[in-house]
Amino acid sequence: MSVTTATTQDDLRRLNLARILRFVHVSGPVSRSDLVGATGMNRSTIGVLVNELAEAGLVAEVAGAAGGVGRPSLVAEPVPSGALVLACEVKVEATETALVGLGGTVFTRRTDTHAADGIDPAEAVEVIAQAAEALLGEATGTLVGLAVSIPGVIDPDDGQVLVAPNLGWRDVPLGTLLVDRMTVPGQRVPQIAVGNDADLGALAEHVRGSGRGVRSLIYLSGEVGIGGGIVLDGSLMTGLGGFGGEVGHMVVNPGGLLCRCGTRGCWETEIGRDAVLRAAGLSDEVGDVLQVVRAAESGNVKAREGLRHVGEWLGLGLGNLVNIFNPEVIVLGGHLRYLLPQVSEAVLGRVDQTLAAMRDDVQLVTPALEGDSTLLGAAERAFAPLLSDPLGVLQMTAAREAS
């Protein structure tokens, strides 16, 4: 982790504006006392900085509820339309897009279902661009960023998709393709980021979901494949090149099935979507995990046994992650959230085999943001530049729109 240190007065002001805006964005509405507690700055400094953010249209100060005698105190809250982002989640079967305002307000969203044979990169760029145009059409506000989630391994430097096995993509320069497509004359071009789906899910669940405020969290994305996003000491663990967290390709069953990645017995081959349908004997009949769970609930014995089998493998891999990370929270996202209630006995049986101290530390939970962890994580990623330098990003955006 690099520690940002202010070396000039300007740096310090920028850092302090960023700290206040981030706190209001995540926790607003907040009182002056909350801001003092969260930032350690004094009231008068906070007053000056909140005013600057208010003048920039990012924060509003309103009268809070009157507490006891005296005037009600001022409360700072984010202005949702003060800064907008577009968040996209490209999945195998559909692309979700949302227009999100400061503070995490979802204004509008849409789903573009893909053809049965999936989506290729050029189509995906077109779907994203058209969804962006549609959602922005009636919106008022300043667009400051666009972030796209991909179920694959992403180079964070340039948004290159190195491999997204379940989309069938390899070495796709998605960041560049999006920048090119979005630079239509007259169109507002925000900063563009591409991220891994599970990393973004982890981010959202850490900021606003089931792992809010915890030190360490593992988010598992359960889609066609299984991804992992890992927050340690409050920051996303990226690994050297930004490629870490590929827990779905942890080999747990060397004698098992061949994975799309080319290795045999990856965790994904035992708990990914196809594995759940196969274990339940329903591959030909149903298309998603929720249907398997419903079949089990309505008494389908094969489905029940299949889920128990998947639960054993889920628990085995979770036990590995507990032993390796000693985490505080593991969030079972995507289809895994439907499985957890069904398989908790089998899962806990395996996790119980880890060391008592670690087992007692960890909470296995479903995502508070339900199916939207990754989409909302893309929104958080898109807000990141603004939350690091609020006025700088607004100035850059204004300059771009004027040119």
List of residues contacting a copy of itself (CB under 8 A): 1, 3, 153, 155, 162-163, 215-216, 228, 232-235, 237-247, 249-255, 261-263, 316, 319-320, 323-328, 353-358, 361-362
Judged by beta carbon, residue 357 or residue 402, the one nearer a copy of itself is: 357
Q: Are 195 and 376 in contact (CB under 8 A)?
A: no
Closest separation in Å from C-beta 356 to a copy of itself? 8
Judged by beta carbon, residue 106 or residue 261, the one nearer a copy of itself is: 261
Closest separation in Å from C-beta 216 to a copy of itself? 6
Polymer length in residues for the chain: 403
Judged by beta carbon, residue 234 or residue 287, the one nearer a copy of itself is: 234
**SS3 assignment, position 312:** helix
Closest separation in Å from C-beta 388 to a copy of itself? 16
Q: How far apart are CA 397 and CA 395, in angstroms?
A: 5
CA 122 remoteness from chain centre: 24
DSSP 200-216: HHHHHHHHHSTTTT-S-
Q: Are 92 and 287 in contact (CB under 8 A)?
A: no
Judged by beta carbon, residue 67 or residue 213, the one nearer a copy of itself is: 213
Judged by beta carbon, residue 70 or residue 262, the one nearer a copy of itself is: 262
Helix (H) or strand (E) holding 316: helix 301-325
Closest separation in Å from C-beta 144 to a copy of itself? 27
Closest separation in Å from C-beta 214 to a copy of itself? 9
Closest separation in Å from C-beta 152 to a copy of itself? 10
Q: How far apart are CA 228 and CA 336, in angstroms?
A: 12
Q: How many other CB atoms are found less than 10 A from the CB of residue 118?
A: 16
**Strand ranges (E), 127-225:** 143-150, 153-155, 160-164, 169-172, 191-196, 217-222
For residue 192, list its beta bridge partners: 146
Judged by beta carbon, residue 189 or residue 250, the one nearer a copy of itself is: 250
Q: Are 8 and 16 in contact (CB under 8 A)?
A: no
Q: Report in angstroms the alpha-carbon separations of 400 from 68, 188, 204, 395.
A: 48, 8, 29, 9
Judged by beta carbon, residue 340 or residue 358, the one nearer a copy of itself is: 358
Q: How far apart are CA 150 and CA 119, in angstroms?
A: 12
| Amino acid identity, position 245 | G
* Distant-in-sequence, close-in-space partners of 60: CB < 8 Å, separation ≥ 6: 54, 76, 77, 78, 79
Judged by beta carbon, residue 189 or residue 358, the one nearer a copy of itself is: 358
Closest separation in Å from C-beta 276 to a copy of itself? 18
Closest separation in Å from C-beta 141 to a copy of itself? 34
